[in-house]
Chains A and B, each alone.
Chain A
Amino acid sequence: MKSYIVQLAATRLLPVTLILSLLVFYRGHNEPGGGFIGGLMAAAGFIFYAMAYDTAKAEKKLRVSPLMLIVAGLSFAFISTLPSLFAGNPFFTGEWISLNIPLLGKLKLGSPLLFDLGVYLAVWGVIITIIFNVMEE
């Protein structure tokens, strides 16, 4: 499937899917969405790209190896458990901070968001690893 139209579409759609996946990821705390779905969407963009070109080009576009995405995901998930320790709460307690950002208003950031970021990255990496391996077979 080496069609110019598909290749152009994949190239243009890749940033869109990535931005969309981040939006889905961010709204996930209180509304449908979250790290898992976001990670799937991000992976979908690259899978489409790999279908239009090939996996080697898609991996080049990704710049980091999928394994590093998984490692980064695990690391973020691990780091997200640390704030509860410094706050003296039981392990894994969600800790929140509120930031007052001019113009944007109040931004609530917490360790669950960090954990979800870990899920996002890990799912992204795992799905890409699996699909790329299958495509190369």
Chain B
Amino acid sequence: MILPALPILIPLLTIILLLFSFQRREWQPWIGLTGALLQLALALFLAIQVKTQGILVLHTGNWEAPFGITLVVDAFSSIMLVLAGIIAVSVSIYSMDAIDRQRQSFFFYPMVQGLLMGVNGAFVTGDIFNLYVWFEVMLTASFVLITLGGEKKQLNGAIKYVSINLVSSLFFLAGIGLLYGKTGTLNMADLALKLSLADNNVLMNTSAVLFFVAFSIKAAVFPFFFWLPASYHTPPVAITALFAGLLTKVGIYSMIRFYTLFFVQDKLFWHPLFLWIGGFTMVIGVLTAASQYDIRKILSFHIISQIGYIIMGLGIFTVAGIAGAIFFMAHNIIAKTNTFLVAGLINRITGSYDLKKIGGLYKIRPWLSILFIIPAFGLAGIPPLSGFFGKLILISAGFDAGEYVISFIALAVGLFTLFSMVKIWNEAFWKPRPEGLSPFEGENEKLPVSMVIPVVFLGLITLTMGFAVKPILEIAMNAAGQLLDPKIYIQAVLGL
């Protein structure tokens, strides 16, 4: 039984091959892409396995839980692995032409695989200290990726990114230390068991708060979001797209995992807090986005706003709410990455991300505007695209649970999101080209096929998610059901 370890081993093997062929720059993209394709195929296979056989558990090194490190793939993990695989493939293809040769020959591909190894590891591990290690693997790779190229503004953004993430790691580690001191175990299933039997769970709130702060920083949740818009627009857009799709979502994944599996005793304190925080995150993200004129900055602020929806699902804490959060996360990972990739295409044609300096793209590239509309209006929640159903599920779950305030906030924020997306659409595509602007630098060049393929691929997924809501929602419901019944997880890992 090696299956749960493969999401970690495939990127590792890819890194080894990439480093062996370090001198041959022209091989690097293809090796990276092969690794990414294998990961996607494996993730799909794992998802089917989980569906037919239940939770997959691997006790590494033959050390039974709770003593060794256990790798666990449940329905939620397998969904996240599939999403990570999709993003990995898209970014690997896109970066072939979008990343310059200098960066490609300076360990771009090994670092992308390193990041994927960390992300996949975080999704499969069943041990909180091991989760911390995967976070560090992921962060170290992201530190290199964000500074790769060494431009001044990149370093400027990277300083904020690195320092705030180190602080968050410290919180995370402190939380682990406290929890280990109190319970004597690091295994998630064993923790869940011990905490459900303990009677003075108030003591656990110290570490629960530390974890909450740590994951909030990683996920860019209010009030810890400021590092994200300060750094995400600095690296090349392929790297930003990778970060936007995966990094914050790992923080959210961990939050959902922790607060459904073992920090479930103090519901009266946590769930209203989640709803408040979710509401603030949504509103602040979307309002600040409205005042921006750089496409990448608008999109970065929207990452924050949409994290709020996922937190809202966690705060509602019903099967429908969590399923809505999972569905929304899936939609968001795909659509958000896609909007960044389209922003890269716009930049390729016009040489700028500044909305004031571009315009009239609809005239010269009508197809590109359609490629933009799909993810952008998906994010805004226009039916029949995936975002509409994501929000619908969440809001109706909110009404069912009697959480009227947050549901109305979510509705209003949807309108503002639409405003921002329409703004990009109007400014970049619809309005006539600004007066006195010379022709764009890439106006007559053909867009590289490798940069268009992933955009089309992700756009098709957004459309499919909109048209095939029912089967996808069923998968999310199944995962949510599993999450809200920790006994299934505990039984699978500890065999009780």
Chain A 83-110, CB-CB to B under 8 Å as 1, else 0, gives 0110001111110000000000000000
Inter-subunit contact B60/A74 (CB<8 Å): no
Inter-subunit contact B19/A74 (CB<8 Å): yes
Inter-subunit contact B12/A74 (CB<8 Å): yes
| Bound-state Cα–Cα, A91 to B5, Å | 8
Q: Hey, which chain A residues are within 8 Å of B2, CB to CB?
A: 85, 91
Min Cβ gap B58→A in Å is: 6
Is B436 in contact with chain A by the CB < 8 A criterion?
no
Contact residues of B between 59 and 100, Cβ < 8 Å to A: 59-62
Pick from A67, A71, A75, A91: contact of B60, CB below 8 A: A91
Chain A 62-80, CB-CB to B under 8 Å as 1, else 0, gives 0000010011001100100
Pick from B5, B15, B59: contact of A74, CB below 8 A: B15
Is A21 in contact with chain B by the CB < 8 A criterion?
no
Inter-subunit contact B9/A90 (CB<8 Å): no
Inter-subunit contact A71/B20 (CB<8 Å): yes
Q: Hey, which chain B residues are within 8 Å of A70, CB to CB?
A: 19
Is A55 in contact with chain B by the CB < 8 A criterion?
no
Q: How many residues on chain A are close to B (CB under 8 Å)?
A: 15
Q: Hey, which chain A residues are within 8 Å of B62, CB to CB?
A: 84, 89-90, 92-93
Pick from A74, A84, A90, A92: contact of B16, CB below 8 A: A74
Inter-subunit contact A92/B5 (CB<8 Å): yes
| Bound-state Cα–Cα, A74 to B20, Å | 11
Is B1 in contact with chain A by the CB < 8 A criterion?
yes
| Bound-state Cα–Cα, A71 to B2, Å | 23
Min Cβ gap B480→A in Å is: 29
Is B362 in contact with chain A by the CB < 8 A criterion?
no
* With known contacts A74-B12, A78-B13, A81-B9, A93–B19 Cβ distance under 8 A: no
| Bound-state Cα–Cα, A75 to B15, Å | 10
Inter-subunit contact B12/A90 (CB<8 Å): no
Q: How many residues on chain B are close to A (CB under 8 Å)?
A: 16
| Bound-state Cα–Cα, A78 to B20, Å | 14
Is B22 in contact with chain A by the CB < 8 A criterion?
yes
| Bound-state Cα–Cα, A91 to B69, Å | 11
Q: Hey, which chain A residues are within 8 Å of B1, CB to CB?
A: 90-91
Q: Hey, which chain B residues are within 8 Å of A81, CB to CB?
A: 9
Inter-subunit contact B16/A75 (CB<8 Å): yes
Q: For A81, give the chain B residue with the smallest CB separation.
A: B9
| Bound-state Cα–Cα, A85 to B2, Å | 8
* With known contacts A74-B12, A78-B13, A85-B2, A91–B19 Cβ distance under 8 A: no
Q: For B1, give the chain A residue with the smallest CB separation.
A: A90
| Bound-state Cα–Cα, A92 to B59, Å | 9
Q: Hey, which chain A residues are within 8 Å of B59, CB to CB?
A: 90
* With known contacts A91-B60, A93-B61, A78–B5 Cβ distance under 8 A: no
Q: For A79, give the chain B residue with the smallest CB separation.
A: B16
Inter-subunit contact A90/B61 (CB<8 Å): yes
| Bound-state Cα–Cα, A94 to B61, Å | 6
Q: For A73, give the chain B residue with the smallest CB separation.
A: B16
Min Cβ gap A3→B in Å is: 36
Of the listed residues A67, A71, A90, A94, the one surrounded by the most CB atoms of chain B closer than 10 A to its CB is A90
Q: Hey, which chain B residues are within 8 Å of A92, CB to CB?
A: 5, 60-62
Q: Hey, which chain A residues are within 8 Å of B60, CB to CB?
A: 90-92
Min Cβ gap B28→A in Å is: 14
B binding-site residues for A, Cβ under 8 Å: 1-2, 5, 9, 12-13, 15-16, 19-20, 22, 58-62
**Which A-B residue pairs are the 8 nearest by beta carbons?**
A93-B62, A71-B19, A92-B60, A92-B61, A91-B5, A91-B2, A90-B62, A74-B16
A sample of 4 more A-B contacts (CB under 8 A), given A71-B19, A90-B58, A91-B2, is A67-B19, A74-B12, A90-B1, A92-B5
* CB pairs A–B below 8 angstroms (29 shown): A67-B19, A67-B22, A71-B16, A74-B15, A74-B16, A74-B19, A78-B9, A78-B13, A78-B16, A81-B9, A85-B2, A89-B62, A90-B1, A90-B58, A90-B59, A90-B60, A90-B61, A90-B62, A91-B1, A91-B2, A91-B5, A91-B58, A91-B60, A91-B61, A92-B5, A92-B60, A92-B61, A92-B62, A93-B61
